Amino acid sequence: MGNQVTVAIIGGSGKMGRWFANFLLKDGYEVVITGRNEKKLLEAKRQLGVEVTTNNIEAVKKAKAILISVPIDNFEEVMEQICPYTHPEQVIIDITSIKAFPVEIMHKHIKTGLVLGVHPMFGPGARDIANQSFILTPTNEEERALAQKIRKYLETRGARVTLMSPDEHDEMMGVILGLSHFIAIVSADTLLSFDKLKQMRAIGGSTFKLLLTLAEGVISEDPEFYTSLQMNLPNIAEIEKLFQRRAKTWADLVENKDREKFAQRMNALKNRLNEVNPDFGKAYEDMYKLVEGL
């Protein structure tokens, strides 16, 4: 991508769309954003000084690059709407948090123009692009060539970039996003079953503070987004069933007062985590520092 290129951000009035509009404007691009709600669009226009329209087709027609930043549940309707208006020299990039389904939908509908699945691994609160991680999911030679160009563009600006297949991405996101969010939501639900949570909050140590921060962090976010991830991550049901089986195993050891097996299993986990992370030994210290910084 070179400067003075017009980028259309479909869903640009949303949280991530505004983030990318702000970033691209500062990087010298012309940006036009779309959304359905006019009030939200005008607010974005006031905030960012960006061109706005409720007409996706009008935005697509004038753009060299198109960024799709709509919720996964609206993805196919947007693709169906814009596909007759894309042209061969355009690039169409989706930034949804799931990759196999949107990439498949783009291949199905976009007959002219080059597509690429991208997942920015950060939320709209990110201050800067430096040190942020992006996953790019090209599926053929043309897309791999585009991914290399985009990788260079992002890395020059300090971002970290990883390439993988859409399926590999989704498999990992089931754990990275799906399981982490699930544990946070169930933890919040469990913690709120105790009436003295307010007092516990005041006196709790590092581990408890970290758990509470995780639970509060996820619950404070947009429920629509978290619901959409839980409903759309392809392998999430299996992962959550595994979590439930593991929770039962540990709870049974506690219920049966099986001290020996509990400690044995914990030691076995210690050894295995050590293999995954050579710095594992100082993890408790790291957690303490993290909580002190909160």
Ligand X SMILES: NC(=O)c1ccc[n+]([C@@H]2O[C@H](COP(=O)([O-])OP(=O)(O)OC[C@H]3O[C@@H](n4cnc5c(N)ncnc54)[C@H](OP(=O)(O)O)[C@@H]3O)[C@@H](O)[C@H]2O)c1
Candidates 9, 50, 72, 218: give the one binding ligand X (CB under 6 A).
Answer: 72
Candidates 69, 86, 90, 137: give the one binding ligand X (CB under 6 A).
Answer: 69
Residues whose CB falls within 8 Å of the CB of residue 179, separated by 6 or more in sequence, listed in order: 239, 240, 243
Site for ligand X, residues 192 to 221, rule: CB under 6 A: none
Site for ligand X, residues 86 to 115, rule: CB under 6 A: 95-97
Query: DSSP label at 179?
Result: I
Q: How far is the CB of 222 from ligand X (least distance, A)?
A: 6
Of 36-44, 45-53, 198-206, 269-277, the window that binds ligand X (rule: CB under 6 A) is: 36-44
Q: Between 13 and 90, name the residue whose CB sits nearer to ligand X.
A: 13
Torsion of CA 8, 13, 15, 16, to 10 degrees: 0
Q: How far is the CB of 149 from ligand X (least distance, A)?
A: 21
Long-range contacts of 187-194 (CB under 8 A, 24+ apart): 187/211, 187/214, 187/215, 188/215, 188/216, 188/218, 188/219, 191/215
Over its C-alpha atoms, the chain yields an Rg (Å, rounded) of: 22
Candidates 26, 28, 36, 254: give the one binding ligand X (CB under 6 A).
Answer: 36
Q: Coil, strand, or helix at residue 7?
A: strand
CB 164 within 8 A of CB 137: yes
Candidates 5, 30, 40, 171: give the one binding ligand X (CB under 6 A).
Answer: 40
Nearest residue to ligand X, using CB? 14
Q: Which residues bind ligand X (CB under 6 A)?
A: 10-11, 13-17, 34-37, 40, 56, 69-72, 74, 77-78, 95-97, 120, 123-124, 225
